[in-house]
Amino acid sequence: MGEVKLLGTWPSPFYYRVVWALKLKGIAYEFIEEDLGNKSPLLLQYNPVHKKIPVLVHNGKPICESMIILEYIEQVWPQNPLLPSDPYERAIARFWIKFTEDKSLAIWMVFGTKGEEQEKAVKDCLEMLKTIEEHALGDSQKKLFGGDEINMVDIAFGQLAYWLQCIEQVSGVKLLEASKFPRLQTWVENFKQVPIIKQNLPDRDEMLAFFKTRREMRLAAAK
Amino acid sequence: MGEVKLLGTWPSPFYYRVVWALKLKGIAYEFIEEDLGNKSPLLLQYNPVHKKIPVLVHNGKPICESMIILEYIEQVWPQNPLLPSDPYERAIARFWIKFTEDKSLAIWMVFGTKGEEQEKAVKDCLEMLKTIEEHALGDSQKKLFGGDEINMVDIAFGQLAYWLQCIEQVSGVKLLEASKFPRLQTWVENFKQVPIIKQNLPDRDEMLAFFKTRREMRLAAAK
């Protein structure tokens, strides 16, 4: 298995993507906590382009970007597969992973703005949720995106199941209304019931306090 | 091999990514030309989320998003590999593919804007080129991103080798100066010498005329 280290910070949903994947695969790792207000020389050395967590370090070699780390994990440790083996099903999975990578910035725009700018972000966010509701979940009866078992698409969408609710509360807007997005709401419930997910989520109160402070700082800086 | 169809439009670098990959793999296909000013019911049916080309249709099943199509092609037709087999090397390749997917919008912002807005886009574009020059090509003596043979990273960066020059000319700004980006300039020359690339590029004059008209329309609409 070799030496596995993970650089991350506790409130980041991108860090949790890697945590969930490693746990689902049964891979032991050492966690190295990063302080993003004071980035370590190690982080700057390992991810000189983006200077961001998460970084997975396997036998001394760094891999950056959460979804690329997950593809790496899938290739190196094929047990409990996180992607379908069928090429077409795999392409569909990657389509939705790319979709959330490209679109979910809107959630963080809702979090970091107010007034007109926030209204625009809310619109983008609702459009994203509508597309997932109608096209990704469609008229399927699947428990999760991966079917009965969690897969890489579920993990990619993980921030919608936990962080979004925190952002709603902190930002004072409701996005994922169950009446508008019944399939997505069912997915959220099912996703949070998966034992590895349930056991590996940041504390809700600490998250709320953290994101509340962050939002105030962000808005103050934008003035 | 099955029935392979490709929906595309001749001036699109994203369509050419798929053309190059299919030709490098030796896969015969039927080209279906799309008119993006009047999208066909077939395109809307095959790509209801983004309504964009390219779409690869293999045995009746549509795959969307150029780089996801390339991953599909790589899995279905493994001959003449476009990705390294080593997991770490593969992760590095995917890192740069994601980098260009995330950042190269800046090129098209230069194309679609003027004045202050264009200055901002030029800045973003130069930053992107600097990162590629320093980190992706680094101090390596590699002929191409893939080494001696073209790979998926080269294909992903293809728009920098041909479309960028057209955008520079139409927009009246110089971005890829050889004195500032010597490694990238060498890569451009090497990339265009690859026979499959050389033989499969849109006509330069037709491209210039097309993008000149498009830029005028874009700027007129933005007024």
Q: Could you state, in order of their start, the residue ranges of all structural domains in chain B?
A: 4-76, 87-222
> Is B72 within 8 Å of A88 when comparing Cβ atoms?
yes
Nearest CA in chain B to A136: B49
The two structure tokens encoding residue A71: 């593809």
A139: pLDDT strictly greater than 80 = no
Q: Do A65 and B95 touch (CB under 8 A)?
A: yes
C-beta contacts of B102-108 below 8 A and 24+ residues apart: B103/B128, B103/B131, B104/B128, B104/B159, B104/B160, B107/B159, B107/B160, B107/B163, B107/B164, B107/B167, B107/B175, B108/B167
Distance CA A46, CA A40 (A): 10
Nearest CA in chain B to A95: B68
Asked if the Cβ–Cβ distance from B68 to A91 is below 8 Å, we say yes
Closest by CA to A157, choosing from A10, A16, A22, is A16
Question: What is the rounded distance in angstroms from the CA atom of residue B73 to the CA atom of residue A39?
Answer: 39
- Nearest of A184, A130, A181, A182 to residue A153 by alpha carbon: A184
User: Cis ω on the peptide bond leading into residue B48 (within 30° of 0)?
Assistant: no
Contact residues, chain A to chain B, C-beta under 8 Å = 48-49, 58, 61, 63-65, 67-69, 71-72, 75-76, 87-88, 90-91, 94-95, 98-99, 101, 131, 135
Residues of A in contact with B98 (CB under 8 A): 65, 67-68, 101
Residues of A with Cβ-Cβ distance to B27 under 8 angstroms? none
Please, are residues A15 and A69 in contact by the beta-carbon 8 Å criterion?
no
Judging contacts by C-beta atoms under 8 Å, the chain B residues touching residue A88 are 58, 61, 63, 72
- According to DSSP, the residues that pair with A4 across neighbouring strands are A58
Q: Element (H or E) spanning A76, and its range?
A: helix A66-76
Instruction: Determine which of A27, A47, A98 to mutate to test the interface with B (most B C-beta atoms within 10 Å).
Output: A98
pLDDT tens for A122-135 read 999 999 999 999 99
Q: What is the CATH number of domain A4-76?
A: 3.40.30.10
Query: Which residues of chain A does B58 touch, with a Cβ-Cβ cutoff of 8 Å?
Result: 88
Cβ <8 Å between A99 and B49: yes
Q: b/e map of B138-171 (b: 16 or more CB within 10 Å)? A: eeeeebbbbeeebbbbbbbbbbbbbbbbbbbebb
Nearest CA distance, B174 vs chain A (angstrom): 24
ipTM of the complex: 0.96
Same fold, A4-76 and A87-222: no
Query: Which among A88, A94, A135 has CB closest to B49?
Result: A135
Determine the Cα–Cα distance for residues A217 and A213; give it in Å rounded to an integer: 6
Helices (H), B8-64: 13-25, 41-46
Residues of B with CB under 8 A from a CB of A: 48-49, 58, 61, 63-65, 67-69, 71-72, 75-76, 87-88, 90-91, 94-95, 98-99, 101, 131, 135
Topology at the third CATH level for domain A87-222: Glutathione S-transferase Yfyf (Class Pi); Chain A, domain 2 (1.20.1050)
Q: Which of A49, A65, A101 sits opposite B135 (nearest CB)?
A: A49
User: Digits of tens for pLDDT over chain B (223 positions)?
Assistant: 789 999 999 999 999 999 999 999 999 999 999 998 899 999 999 999 999 999 999 999 999 999 999 999 999 999 999 999 999 999 999 999 999 999 999 999 999 999 999 999 999 999 999 999 999 987 667 899 988 999 999 999 999 999 999 999 999 999 999 899 999 999 999 999 999 999 999 999 999 999 999 999 999 988 6
Structure confidence by residue, pLDDT tens digits, B123-169: 999 999 999 999 998 766 789 998 899 999 999 999 999 999 999 99
Q: How many CB atoms lie within 10 A of CB A174?
A: 11
Q: What is the pTM of this model?
A: 0.96
Do B87 and A69 make contact, defined as CB atoms within 8 angstroms?
no
Tell me the C-alpha distance between A60 and B222, whole Å: 50
Any alpha helices (H) in B5-86, and if so which ranges?
Answer: 13-25, 41-46, 66-76
CB-CB under 8 Å, A99 with B76:
no
